[in-house]
Chain A
């Protein structure tokens, strides 16, 4: 594969059967190598259990119902936190992108708050909420807020002013102008924000659940560490990776469906 090919690959969605399989070659090869390394003893199982052991641990947890329950709890926290933080970020992005007054009023403050790493608030959040659900939701929402806010704002501000003038010339009302020109113009940038936010969402949740939780994937991993169940620890990490990939794929599908007009998403 040439350099050009590999650069254009993530943006091209031809994805017939072959392309769909190609992306799995490397992960599968890694797992196979890892299995061989474990079985031959190159990697001691105390450092890294064999994939088969991890799969077995997963099977047992699945049968006991513990795995599904923990995944569900984490998934729920992630989604609700994302929805809350995302909607607030989107609302502020819209308001500050469309109204000078609103931007003057809140943008500087938000930019200042943005410079506080939200994970640094964990001790404070625990003091406020304990290890309650609200603590995790708060942290996720806060983490998700900024990428959505910033990219919505940027998207709206960079809509082609010539198109806005065109809309006005052709007699669009403010509502129509927003629906037909401003929002669709801002959408690609909003999606960039969503993709960023999804990454931050998982990261925040993992950290919050490992530090302050009594259920969820992060909690499962911490419990397993206490009992030296390294296979469960590795399992949790793999599940995080899979869920992250799932979230990313979902946003890509959405993006492809709503941005089909964009040259980057058109079949060549």
Chain B
């Protein structure tokens, strides 16, 4: 895994980074308390599956600790972009850079499915997230701490099958957090949850992001979720970043505020107008 990751993440010269998407600067009060995240630089990224050209040149700079949401029509390549960043697919052309000393444990992905091991208790599922540190003495303690963070300390000895969908996803979040990752990629992690659970999970995501200061990349099909959580919303169309929208609203954000709803409306109209053209 480590070697695979390294090979798919070629270096990028740091000089060019500052010139990337210059408006991606964020108001001070929105930053997490401590920034532990890695900056992410993507240049000329392309990816095809056979004849299907999915990503046709993505250029993007994400500053350390930023919370970015990616929206776009289904099948536009959001998951592919995320999988490339996480090193799960091979890059066709271009580069992705996450700084010099990136380790496998620094990047974590959370999917729509919790992907818990049904035959392992909740605590050992979280321990899986420690990667190479799984066998260390403090593995238990660290896993318990992560479980406490997502509010499931009392479920440590349960089988995953007895948990609700939202609880499973929280265990998956604890597993992703336990190695203190510096980039966390979410692929529609709340897509399968009911509306109320979604909202409480959104709060949880925002809280752990503020506490830990990782760089967050959230793929979602829910534009209101994107504007509620993210510093910045990217709209992908035809394999490129078609819109790059800053969300300057102060946190904690009031859902349904005029500002957020206005932004949501304009992003939605972008998405819909693209629909009309095709």
Residues of A within 8 A of B (CB): 162-163, 165-172, 180-181, 184-185, 187, 259-263, 266
Which residues from chain B contact A171 at a C-beta distance below 8 Å?
A: 1-2, 104-105, 131-132
For residue B26, CB closer than 8 A to chain A, the reply is: no
22 A-B pairs with CB atoms under 8 Å apart are A162-B111, A162-B113, A162-B115, A167-B128, A169-B86, A170-B128, A170-B129, A170-B175, A171-B131, A172-B128, A180-B120, A181-B117, A185-B119, A259-B119, A260-B159, A261-B120, A261-B159, A262-B161, A263-B161, A266-B159, A266-B161, A266-B162
Q: Interface range on chain B: under 10, 10 to 19, 20 to 34, or 35 or more? A: 20 to 34
User: A166 contacts B115, CB within 8 Å?
Assistant: yes
User: A169 contacts B109, CB within 8 Å?
Assistant: yes
For residue B88, CB closer than 8 A to chain A, the reply is: yes
Which residues from chain B contact A162 at a C-beta distance below 8 Å?
A: 111, 113, 115
User: B119 contacts A184, CB within 8 Å?
Assistant: yes
A-B contact count (CB 8 A): 49
For residue B118, CB closer than 8 A to chain A, the reply is: yes
- Give bound CA distance, A260 to B121, whole Å: 11
Residues of B within 8 A of A (CB): 1-2, 86, 88, 104-105, 108-109, 111, 113, 115, 117-120, 128-129, 131-132, 159, 161-162, 175
User: A170 contacts B131, CB within 8 Å?
Assistant: yes
Output the nearest chain A residue to B132 by Cβ-Cβ distance: A171
Which residues from chain B contact A259 at a C-beta distance below 8 Å?
A: 119
Which residues from chain B contact A168 at a C-beta distance below 8 Å?
A: 1
Interface of A is mostly: helix
* B9: min CB distance to chain A, Å: 14
Residue in A167, A261, A262, A266 whose Cβ sees the most chain B Cβ within 10 Å: A261
Contacts A184-B119, A261-B119; A169 near B1 (Cβ below 8 A): yes
- Give bound CA distance, A180 to B119, whole Å: 9
Which residues from chain B contact A184 at a C-beta distance below 8 Å?
A: 117, 119
Which residues from chain B contact A185 at a C-beta distance below 8 Å?
A: 119
User: B117 contacts A163, CB within 8 Å?
Assistant: yes
* B1: min CB distance to chain A, Å: 5
- Give bound CA distance, A165 to B117, whole Å: 12
* A61: min CB distance to chain B, Å: 46
Which residues from chain B contact A165 at a C-beta distance below 8 Å?
A: 88, 115
Output the nearest chain B residue to A184 by Cβ-Cβ distance: B119
* A265: min CB distance to chain B, Å: 10
Which residues from chain A contact B132 at a C-beta distance below 8 Å?
A: 171
User: B88 contacts A261, CB within 8 Å?
Assistant: no
* B107: min CB distance to chain A, Å: 9
Which residues from chain B contact A263 at a C-beta distance below 8 Å?
A: 161
* A161: min CB distance to chain B, Å: 10
- Give bound CA distance, A259 to B161, whole Å: 12
